[in-house]
Amino acid sequence: MIQHPAYPVEPWCLRETELHLGVLAQSESLFALSNGHIGWRGNLDEGEPYGLPGSYLNGVYESHPLPYAEAGYGYPEAGQTVINVTNAKLIRLLVDDQPFDVRYGEVRSHERLLDFRTGLLQRHVEWLSRGRRGVRVRSTRLVSLVQRSVAAISYEVEPLDAAVRVVVQSELVANEALPPAGGDPRKSARLEAPLHSVSHACRDARVALLHSTAASGLRIGAAMDHHIVGPPSVQVSAESSPDLGRVTITAALEPGERLQLVKFVAYGWSAIRSDPAVRDQVDAALTAATQTGWSGLVEEQGAYLGDFWDRADVEVDGDPEIQQAVRFSLFHVLQAGARAEGRAIPAKGLTGPGYDGHAFWDTETYVLPVLTYTDPEAVANALRWRHTTLPTATERARQLGLEGAVFPWRTISGAECSGYWPAGTAAFHVGADIADAVVRYVEASGDEAFEREVGLDLLAETARLWRSLGHHDAQGRFRIDGVTGPDEYSAVADNNVYTNLMAQHNLRAAADAAERHPDLAGRLRITAEEVGAWREAATAMFIPYDETLKVHPQAEGFTRHEVWDFAHTSAEQYPLLLHFPYFDLYRKQVVKQADLVLAMHLRGDAFTAEEKARNFNYYEGLTVRDSSLSACTQAVIAAEVGHLGLAYDYLAEAALMDLDDLEHNTRDGLHVAALAGTWIALVAGLAGMRARSGGLSFAPRLPPGITRLAVGVSVQHRRLRVEIEPDATTYQLLRGEPLQLLHDGEPVTVATGNPVLRPTHKVPPSEPPAQPIGRAPLRHRTAG
């Protein structure tokens, strides 16, 4: 889409200069607003036409049975699907009895702009009705990052050149009709009329609706109020019914006159509070919003984002597309997690219903590393949510005959929602991914209170899982058999290298944390014998290696499988999961997404430089990237082993995943992990940043085409800026006590007011490895 002439490349915004209905659904995802609690797709104010309506509250879902042709012990019994809650975005307009609809009459101009610095979505339209009556419409929309339950719209209409009578209908609508889901498993289920009316009320320009869900037992409240300014002819009325609330404003406008309204919206929901309590919560949030006023909400939003960009901005010189894309990505990653507080960060954020609104391990492995160094409070909240689901995870472990906690592969509330156990239940690495996120957050933030309140409990229960799931063989090696790693085209394998290395890290981290907090360890019933068993398992962890090929097999025996017939696989047969049975994928050497390569990123300490280079070359020839999670990781390791041009190509693929709709499913919501991968590819890839115990290290490299890269990170209550140019890298501490780090393995100490310069390593051009036929990334690099 960014290549479409209606989408110019600009550094701080996404602008659409013309409305094209053929990409309307995709643009609704791109222009979505969220704060992690409320999500509004970028639908047109008038509601029609639309690609996919969408208003979401994080954690609001409906349950439904998971059907099985043959039942099996331990299969999850219920699925969970995000539902479209009450739509409060709607503002319909009639001009002399003609509905304002871009499909009729004449659209003289139409522009939308999403400003990453203000968090505002603006729309300007000039339209002539079939009766040749013209109006200019301006709207500005926000979902507050400060007042968690609040959203608002400023709407203004004026005549172009002749007097008009206008009617504005501001609405709350529940149970909107949705288009059919289709057969792609990455889409969501569609539940008909999931909201059941509890009550409705209206007074003056204020309307409230209260609904419940039948199976999940949730109560959802939505309310709106209005501030209206117009000529003396303005009249206002309100009405409500079970699924509709409406405030109608009429006015006769002469040329030069305007009708202006601000629509304040508040949402609330609960699984345990009463109907009156939810109603009162929404009413209180709405009152606070109206007292703040539109200008106050805008000012709060700008201040919040100003602070975020001060600490988190990434500057890219030489490639305007990547510059725009990384800010677009950071903005949406922030929106996904900023105020999620007590809830998951779904794979699509709150931008669409793809994957049924489920959260996966993507959050801990891709999204939280970015937020750890840019918005650490959001990370603490996300991991606290995992901690609240610990009882469900320990119950799941008991059901599977295991100790510790088995966290779900996909979920909304904390219960496993995958009915396909080889990819779901067997993907035990989720526990180690959560543990890794805990360790990273604690080391980067120094938040000892979090480690005591949340961290040790999560580390201990996941370590108990590994000790229970694995076993020592006759050679004394600790094996973890029958698991599924990150690559979903290989399932139920023995000793997946990624899983084993991450479990090893998990076991050691749990032991270390227990010894740091012996009093708490005692309360959690962690004994010295158990800590010793964790360390013993970690030391004896079996990491397979193919001595013949001199590479690590993705899992034990993987390199003995037949290689997939890439030569006879057409471009139309990707993604393979939609055209081939899983049993065939499972027994061949074909990789959906980075798995062994991801292990080399997250556990780089377990591989030599030579092993990384050989492994990378080998797996490049097998990886088809049928997952949006792969490109950023391949970018990181490509940069580390010296293929900077290839790293640049993979960076561009991650950065443009949604802006260019590369997987043809952006209509169902943004790929939040891939968006996070833009930052990862730049900061972990080109800047070479790695977290190490007690600090950070950098190995900066610039590919031809990028002339300067500057990144900001927060670590240990400090703000660090790293500016990379072809000849020199500058480290500047903007806030905090002196910081020790490594530059290309050399110790460096940085203090405020005293920037440190070091040479940027020159990487000679090299011949990159080949990818499967037709699966190479699009060439983005200029040379090298």
Please, are residues 118 and 298 in contact by the beta-carbon 8 Å criterion? yes
Measure the CA–CA gap between 239 and 108, rounded to whole angstroms.
Answer: 34
Handedness of CA 559, 562, 568, 571 (dihedral sign): negative
Q: Which among 574, 606, 607, 571 has a CA at the least distance from the CA of 593? A: 574
In this structure, are residues 458 and 383 in contact, taking their beta carbons and an 8 Å threshold?
Answer: yes
CA 636, 641, 647, 650 torsion-angle sign: negative
Q: Is the peptide bond before 486 cis (omega within 30 degrees of 0)?
A: no
Say how far apart CA 35 and CA 58 lie, in whole Å: 10
293: Cα separation from own chain's centroid = 30
Beta partners for residue 511, in sequence order: none
Instruction: Please compute Rg for the chain using Cα positions.
Output: 27
Listed in sequence order, the DSSP H helices in 113-247 are: none
Count Cβ atoms within 10 A of the Cβ of residue 778 and give its class: 0-12 exposed, 13-18 middle, 19 or more buried.
exposed
266's enclosing H/E stretch is strand 259-270
List alpha helices for 425-487, DSSP H.
429-445, 448-450, 456-469
Give the integer Cα–Cα distance in Å for 197 and 58. 20
Contact status, residue 734 vs residue 721, Cβ threshold 8 Å? yes
Cα gap 709→686, rounded to integer Å: 8
Helix, strand, or coil (residue 598): helix
The verdict on whether 488 is a catalytic residue reads yes
Residue length of the chain: 784
Q: What's the CA gap between 308 and 331, in Å, rounded?
A: 9
Measure the CA–CA gap between 602 and 691, rounded to whole angstroms.
Answer: 9
Name residue, tokens 């109006």. 135
* CB distance 636 to 685 below 8 Å: yes
Report phi then psi at 316, rounded to 5.
Answer: -125, 115
Q: Residue 130, class by beta-carbon neighbours within 10 Å (0-12 exposed, 13-18 middle, 19+ buried)?
A: exposed
Instruction: Give just the sign of the alpha carbon dihedral 639, 640, 642, 646.
Output: negative
Nearest CA-CA partner of 284 in 301, 267, 309: 267
The catalytic residue among 488, 620, 653, 723 is 488
* Gap between the Cα atoms of 100 and 61, Å rounded: 33
Q: Are 722 and 734 in contact (CB under 8 A)?
A: no
Helix (H, G, I), strand (E, B) or coil at 531: helix
Amino acid at 640: E
DSSP characters for 46-106? T--S-S---EEETT-EEEEE---SS--TT---EEEEE----B---EEEEETTEE--TTSSE
DSSP β-bridge partners for residue 749: 740
C-alpha of 737 from chain center: 32
Cβ–Cβ < 8 Å for 58, 37: yes
Helices within 340-375 (DSSP H only)? 362, 368-374
How many degrees, rounded to 5, is the angle at CA 583 between CA 579 and CA 585? 60
Tracing tokens 């079970």 back to the chain, one arrives at 242
Neighbours of 278 (CB within 10 A): 22
Catalytic sites, residue numbers: 488
